[in-house]
Structure 1
Amino acid sequence: MAVGMRGLARLVGSVKTLVRPLRLGVRGLVVDRREGSADHVLLVRHTYVPGWYLPGGGVDAGESAGAAVARELAEEAGVEFLGPPLLHGIFFNPIDSRRDHVACYVIDEFRCKPVHVPDLEIAEARFFSVDALPGDTTRATRARIDEVLRGAPISELW
């Protein structure tokens, strides 16, 4: 039985979906609202890529996005939620894959360890004033901070 080009393209697309399914990651924008000064946000610096990022990671099989962001922030920066995280948005991340999305949550009720001890994944985790972010803070991190704290228009792209 002959398969036409259109049928072959659909078959290849279906196989790719099985081999490379939709990926969902989570990031948490932890905001420390300080009286009398600018808000501070929690950023992490990984051991394996340059720059400062919002903490987060992948959603495991059988795990909700909310549970994943709570787990990732506890693992990466010792953050414990004291109130529910607020979903800011779900963003398409075409840089890693055409099937990659990131759910970004805002957390402003929390407590955390006073100092992060470096490990194999996270070299540093610390709060920065939104007015004095490190120069190598990633573009996507800056965009989410601007959207949440400065009222910038929300993008669909990570």
Structure 2
Amino acid sequence: MALQKWLYRLARMYWKIRRPVTMGSRAIIRQDGNILLIRQTYVEGWYLPGGGVKRGESFQQAIIREVAEECGLEAVRPKLLQLYFSRNEGKIDHIALFEITEFSAIARAKTDAEIAELRFFALDDLPEDTSPATRRRIGEYAANQFRAERW
């Protein structure tokens, strides 16, 4: 875990110097009115599942892959909710936010070493250390108002 934190810090320094353009996908995974959040091993707090888009992938393909890797879930028909832009970590990032309401558990060869914990939470009872951006996205989702362009 210490190695992952160190690598994450190193990546952030690189992003501040090089300012790469990246793409990512995040998902609001909903079941019985609750939202699935993840806690990663290399950064504090709770976040929406997701990650980077690999070369040759679409945003949708990336979120299906990330949800399988991080959560052990096979997503069915992710619905695009909004596209966002961010410069928060020094990189120029484009993030697609999806809603996933249909999914099934899948067998995985191993658990994702980046994920410390995953759990469903009620919309009005999120953990205190939920990231500010995650809170904003969930608030927009609850209000069904996706007006923000910045992550």
> What TM-score, normalized to structure 2?
0.80
| SS of aligned partner of 2:130 | coil
Q: What runs of 5+ residues in structure 1 fail to find an aligned partner?
A: 1-18
Q: Match for residue 77 of structure 1?
A: 71
Q: Match for residue 52 of structure 1?
A: 46
Give the superposition deviation at 1:54: 0.2
Instruction: Return structure 1 stretches of 4+ with deviation > 6 angstroms.
Output: none
The answer to whether the 8 A contact 2:70-2:112 is kept is: no
Q: Match for residue 94 of structure 2?
A: 101
Give the superposition deviation at 1:76: 0.3
1:8-61 alpha-carbon deviations (Å, 9 max, x no partner):
xxxxxxxxxxx65421011011011x2xxxx10000000000000000000000
The answer to whether the 8 A contact 1:118-1:124 is kept is: no
Percent identical residues = 46
CA distance in 1, matches of 2:125, 2:105: 21
The answer to whether the 8 A contact 1:52-1:134 is kept is: yes
Pick the structure with more strand per residue: 2
CA distance 1:96–1:156, change in 2 (3 Å): same
86, 90, 109: which is aligned to 2:83? 90
The answer to whether the 8 A contact 1:42-1:128 is kept is: yes
The answer to whether the 8 A contact 1:25-1:102 is kept is: yes
Number of matched pairs: 132
CA RMSD of aligned residues (A): 2.0
Bigger Cα Rg: 1
**Mapping of residues 128-139 of structure 1, within 5 Å:** 128-139=121-132
| SS of aligned partner of 2:98 | strand
CA distance in 2, matches of 1:94, 1:67: 23
> What TM-score, normalized to structure 1?
0.76
CA distance in 2, matches of 1:107, 1:128: 15
